[in-house]
């Protein structure tokens, strides 16, 4: 008999207490069909059929006529997390598409403005930086009063300029709130090899981290970008550029807010800044979300035995004596 295809999990309203009680009874007794489930319930609701539809749509069970098949709650919640990740990625794609189109729309607006001397509703300016002088952008950004500055740096050399020149550290020192400067770089293990001295960059990053600047890695670093809501954001004239040459500086608060939301979404799906020789990082990230070893293995495509081995390696590396102390040590690292 061919096993049924996995149910597509869709996000929706939380199941109400009555439906959850039906699911608990079904998991406990595993009635093979709807009449058996009806008989097993102490107080079956009159709308049992509708509640079974909700459980089916949630991925907890499958129905073949009267027959009922049940899905593991681990698999359901893993699939739900994957569905949420797909939805967030789709929203990022839409937002990134808008960011990609924005420079062209600005140019078209400028060309089509009836009154050349009229006031522009979108407050923008161009900041030109030579290929060997990316400091021009950072000098420009430093003139603003920082609130929540954030940088996306697809190329390590750009970050090295920002750190070696002291611009990011000065921005961080001028912050009045508790939010640190945030920096997002690619997860590509080869990132950083475009600079002449990788060790120099590593030392600069560690110095900045000790000062309080927050670094993370992301799979979705598509373009250079800077945002400091609510007053300033910057995109390259050509979306996808990895350096701040020919940059559009934007000061219109709603547009800056939208770019800030894009960065926040990228940040929310990023990973902690960890050394490349810590293969247990992905495992601990999922364990910290409450997943079991089997669920972590399913998500990462490895065996549960490998998950347990990497947890043991992490405990040894971080000096933890239990999973509880491991979680505390992990939170301090991330």
Judgement on whether residues 86 and 154 belong to the same structural domain of the protein: yes
Judgement on whether residues 95 and 193 belong to the same structural domain of the protein: yes
Could you read off the pLDDT tens digit of each residue along the chain, which spans 334 residues?
344 344 443 444 346 788 888 888 888 888 999 889 888 888 888 888 888 888 888 888 888 877 888 887 767 766 765 666 566 666 666 666 666 666 666 656 555 554 444 444 557 777 777 655 677 777 777 787 888 899 999 888 888 888 888 888 888 888 866 678 999 988 776 676 666 655 678 788 888 888 888 888 887 788 888 999 888 888 888 888 888 888 888 888 877 888 888 888 888 777 767 554 566 777 777 777 777 888 888 877 778 887 888 888 788 777 777 777 777 776 666 5
Cα angle 42, 48, 53; round to 5: 135
Judgement on whether residues 205 and 226 belong to the same structural domain of the protein: yes
| Residue 40 forms part of a structural domain | yes
| Long-range contact set of residues 288-295: C-beta below 8 Å, sequence gap at least 24 | 288/327, 288/330, 288/331, 289/81, 291/74, 291/77, 291/78, 292/74, 294/74, 295/74, 295/75, 295/77, 295/78
Judgement on whether residues 213 and 289 belong to the same structural domain of the protein: no
Judgement on whether residues 36 and 88 belong to the same structural domain of the protein: no
Q: How many domains does the chain have?
A: 3
Q: Tell me which residue range forms the domain holding 327.
A: 281-333
Claim: this prediction has a pTM higher than 0.75: no
User: What is the domain-level CATH number for residue 291?
Assistant: 1.10.10.10
| Residue 236 forms part of a structural domain | yes
Judgement on whether residues 250 and 140 belong to the same structural domain of the protein: yes
**And the tokens for 325?**
């102390």
Judgement on whether residues 103 and 179 belong to the same structural domain of the protein: yes
Judgement on whether residues 52 and 27 belong to the same structural domain of the protein: yes
| Residue 10 forms part of a structural domain | no
């Amino acid at each position: 008999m061919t096993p049924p295809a996995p149910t597509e999990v869709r996000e929706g309203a939380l199941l109400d207490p009555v439906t959850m009680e039906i699911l608990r009874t079904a998991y406990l007794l595993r009635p093979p069909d709807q009449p058996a489930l009806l008989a097993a319930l102490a107080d079956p609701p009159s709308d049992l059929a509708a509640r079974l539809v909700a459980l089916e749509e949630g991925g907890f069970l499958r129905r073949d006529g009267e027959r009922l098949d049940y899905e593991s709650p681990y698999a359901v919640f893993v699939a739900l997390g994957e569905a949420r990740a797909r939805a967030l990625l789709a929203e990022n794609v839409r937002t990134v598409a808008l960011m990609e189109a924005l420079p062209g729309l600005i140019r078209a607006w400028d060309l089509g403005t009836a009154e050349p001397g009229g006031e522009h509703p979108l407050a923008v300016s161009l900041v030109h930086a030579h290929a060997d002088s990316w400091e021009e952008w950072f000098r420009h950004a430093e003139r603003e009063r920082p609130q929540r500055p954030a940088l996306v740096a697809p190329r390590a050399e750009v970050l090295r300029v920002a750190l070696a020149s002291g611009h990011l550290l000065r921005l961080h020192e001028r912050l009045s709130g508790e939010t640190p400067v945030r920096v997002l770089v690619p997860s590509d293990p080869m990132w950083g090899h475009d600079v002449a001295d990788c060790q120099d960059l590593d030392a600069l990053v560690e110095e900045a981290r000790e000062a309080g600047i927050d670094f993370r890695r992301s799979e979705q670093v598509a373009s250079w970008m800077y945002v400091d809501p609510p007053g300033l954001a910057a995109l390259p004239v050509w979306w996808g550029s990895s350096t701040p040459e020919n940059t559009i500086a934007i000061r219109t608060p709603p547009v800056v807010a939208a770019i800030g939301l894009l960065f926040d979404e990228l940040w929310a799906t990023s990973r902690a800044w960890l050394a490349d020789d810590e293969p247990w990082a992905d495992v601990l990230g999922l364990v910290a979300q409450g997943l079991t070893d089997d669920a972590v293995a399913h998500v990462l495509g490895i065996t549960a035995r490998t998950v347990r081995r990497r947890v043991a390696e992490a405990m040894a590396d971080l000096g933890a004596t239990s999973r509880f102390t491991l979680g505390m040590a992990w939170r301090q690292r991330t």
